[in-house]
Amino acid sequence: MPHTHTRHGSSGDDLCSTDEVKIFKDEGDREDDKISSENLLVEEKSSLIDLTESEEKSQKVARPDHSPVFNKLDTHTTSFNMGYLVSPYSYANGAANGLPVTMANKIGLPPFFCHNADPLATPPPAHCGIPPYQLDPKAIGLTRPALYPFAAGQYAYPMLGSEMSQVASWHTPSVYSASSFRTPYPSSLPINTTLPSDFPFRFSPSLLPSVHATSHHVLNSHSAIVASSSKQDCGSHQDSTTNNRYPRNLDTKNTSSNQSNDSSKDISNDKKKPHIKKPLNAFMLYMKEMRAKVVAECTLKESAAINQILGRRWHALGREEQAKYYELARRERQLHMQMYPDWSSRTNASRGKKRKRKQDTNEGGNNMKKCRARFGLDQQNQWCKPCSPNLGTISTVSNNNNGGGGMSITTSSNSSPGAGVGVGVVNMLAPIVSGIVGGAISSSSSSSSSSTSSSHTHVQLMMAPNGSNGNGSINGIQVAACSQQLSPQQQAQAQAPPTYVNL
């Protein structure tokens, strides 16, 4: 049994380890009150995991018989050390009780969660449709690394605040409110860390491995198994639409035994040997559940961008909500372990064909992290250190009532010469603001431009308390920007100067 790792911050990238949000006073104490994962200390996150893991261990101690899965699943509850009493789970598949999403997929339940019967009635957050996700980097001159222009550690949602929500509702036909999106589950409901009483029946005996019954069906249906062909990813794609993450007619145990009988078949069988996927971790479960929402709300399809959003939403999740996913993940691991006791992640790690990870750190990797390192961004507030003083202000972002229905942005800058909020910056901001308030940008800006060669632009929007004046304009969106002249050394390092838009 693999031991439990309680390490956090997998990347080990110190540059992003301090995922701090620049909280502006204007946003008030709401941020202080909000319990988000950003506020979770490493120890707290560890406790979330450790709690579930410790319970897992305690359950195993209490259960000497580990044979069939459905016999291992307690039908009585044991209290979770977080004070929860009953299962809070409404799973993505709509199931009422604790069936991990990927496990649910295998029994044909809908893959995604709806808060209620009418998905359209489910209010997404006010930031839904914020155009950073819609920015066309080609159109606005962003380099590809800036396609998803979030500086790590900058989470759009806390910064937007209720005022932005008001702005969004003011200008968009959305009937959504910001409150319920991030609460797919009633956060006040307690968590039952034990598998719910009906859980074994979701994995009916015919679906579960047993010493008495063949595991064929189980293995066939378990989401962790995919054909080991090179198109395993395609299998995943198929699974996404067919809930068929677990291919049929695959039985690892049978395959293994057959292989042991005939070495000549080993090679061919190895090729056919099903690939048992890793159990999904908490964040993966969260992504699987929330992806469709983000796609629907932001009209995004590119997973890289969606994952950035989801990553920030994950950080914005409350401790309790995250705990649910940690618990789900723990169940996934537990079930996975029970179904494939001999499986090790090392097996998958040695698949060979996988991507050649960029060992030389000059290529690939987290571009934003690299860029932040490259330009020495301030770790605490995410500003380029030389840029922090360059704070300009969008004085007005207003609707054009000239029939075009567009908007205009007027900026001012109190920054040093050459470091103002340039036209390019405003052009870049325009669709962002447009997305915040809805509508289209028809014109923009008045402020001075600055050279973009050998420079980078670092922009951050801040929402003032009174974001909308009710007349279709927004005042007080502050913009900090600069066009920093790079040193020769920086120029050498930065072939494609990045652009950041922090929302």
List binders of DNA among 97-136 (CB under 7 A).
111
CB of 467 to DNA, least distance (A): 27
Using the minimum distance from each CB to DNA, give the nearer residue, 11 or 451: 11
Alpha carbon separation from 145 to 87, 224, 333, 374, 377 (Å, rounded): 42, 32, 34, 13, 16
Of 359, 324, 355, 312, give the one whose Cα is nearest residue 158. 312
Q: In whole angstroms, what is the distance from residue 36 CA to residue 47 CA?
A: 15
Q: Does residue 49 interact with DNA by CB under 7 A? A: yes
Q: In whole angstroms, what is the distance from residue 53 CA to residue 145 CA?
A: 38
Structure tokens belonging to residue 424: 């390019």
| Residues from 388 through 427 that contact DNA (CB under 7 A) | none
Q: Does residue 248 interact with DNA by CB under 7 A? A: no
Q: In whole angstroms, what is the distance from residue 79 CA to residue 76 CA?
A: 10
Q: Binding DNA by CB under 7 A: which of 206, 351, 414, 465?
A: 351
Q: Does residue 144 interact with DNA by CB under 7 A? A: yes
Structure tokens belonging to residue 74: 């307690």
Q: Which stretch binds DNA (CB under 7 A): 81-89, 345-353, 426-434, 467-475?
A: 345-353
Q: Binding DNA by CB under 7 A: which of 39, 210, 269, 367?
A: 367
Q: Which stretch binds DNA (CB under 7 A): 59-67, 227-235, 410-418, 485-493?
A: 227-235
Q: Which residue has the tokens 């968590």?
A: 191
CB of 489 to DNA, least distance (A): 23
Q: Binding DNA by CB under 7 A: which of 69, 99, 140, 368?
A: 368
| Residues from 315 through 344 that contact DNA (CB under 7 A) | 315, 322, 326, 329, 333, 344
CB of 224 to DNA, least distance (A): 7
Q: Does residue 357 interact with DNA by CB under 7 A? A: yes
CB of 340 to DNA, least distance (A): 11
- In this structure, the dihedral spanned by the alpha carbons of residues 263, 347, 278 and 45, taken in order and rounded to 10 degrees, is 160
Q: Does residue 19 interact with DNA by CB under 7 A? A: yes
CB of 345 to DNA, least distance (A): 4
Q: In whole angstroms, what is the distance from residue 241 CA to residue 222 CA?
A: 16
Of 320, 327, 292, give the one whose Cα is nearest residue 306. 292
Q: Which stretch binds DNA (CB under 7 A): 92-100, 123-131, 223-231, 408-416?
A: 223-231
User: Do the beta carbons of residue 373 and residue 15 sit within 8 Å?
Assistant: yes
Q: Which stretch binds DNA (CB under 7 A): 3-11, 87-95, 178-186, 436-444?
A: 3-11
Q: Does residue 233 interact with DNA by CB under 7 A? A: yes
Using the minimum distance from each CB to DNA, give the nearer residue, 193 or 322: 322
| Residues from 254 through 273 that contact DNA (CB under 7 A) | none
Using the minimum distance from each CB to DNA, give the nearer residue, 93 or 223: 223
Structure tokens belonging to residue 218: 């189980």
Q: Binding DNA by CB under 7 A: which of 73, 147, 339, 387?
A: 147
Q: Does residue 311 interact with DNA by CB under 7 A? A: yes
**DSSP-derived 3-state class of residue 351:** coil
Q: In whole angstroms, what is the distance from residue 344 CA to residue 349 CA?
A: 9
Q: Binding DNA by CB under 7 A: which of 120, 175, 349, 440?
A: 349
CB of 14 to DNA, least distance (A): 8
Using the minimum distance from each CB to DNA, give the nearer residue, 371 or 421: 371
Q: Binding DNA by CB under 7 A: which of 57, 60, 66, 231?
A: 231
Q: Does residue 37 interact with DNA by CB under 7 A? A: yes
For CA atoms 37, 40, 42, 47, the dihedral sign is negative
CB of 322 to DNA, least distance (A): 7
Q: In whole angstroms, what is the distance from residue 34 CA to residue 81 CA?
A: 22
Q: Does residue 5 interact with DNA by CB under 7 A? A: yes
For the window 271-310, what string marks contact with DNA as x by the rule CB under 7 A?
A: ----x-xx-xxxxx--xx--x---------xxxx--xx-x
Q: How many CA atoms lie within 13 A of 454 on its CB side?
A: 9
Q: In whole angstroms, what is the distance from residue 402 CA to residue 323 CA?
A: 51
For CA atoms 347, 350, 352, 353, the dihedral sign is positive
CB of 94 to DNA, least distance (A): 16
Amino acid at the residue 227 = A
Q: In whole angstroms, what is the distance from residue 313 CA to residue 300 CA?
A: 15
Where are any strands of DSSP class E within 140-244? 225-226
Q: Does residue 346 interact with DNA by CB under 7 A? A: yes
State the Cα angle at 11 between 10 and 17, rounded to 5°: 95
Q: In whole angstroms, what is the distance from residue 278 CA to residue 225 CA?
A: 9
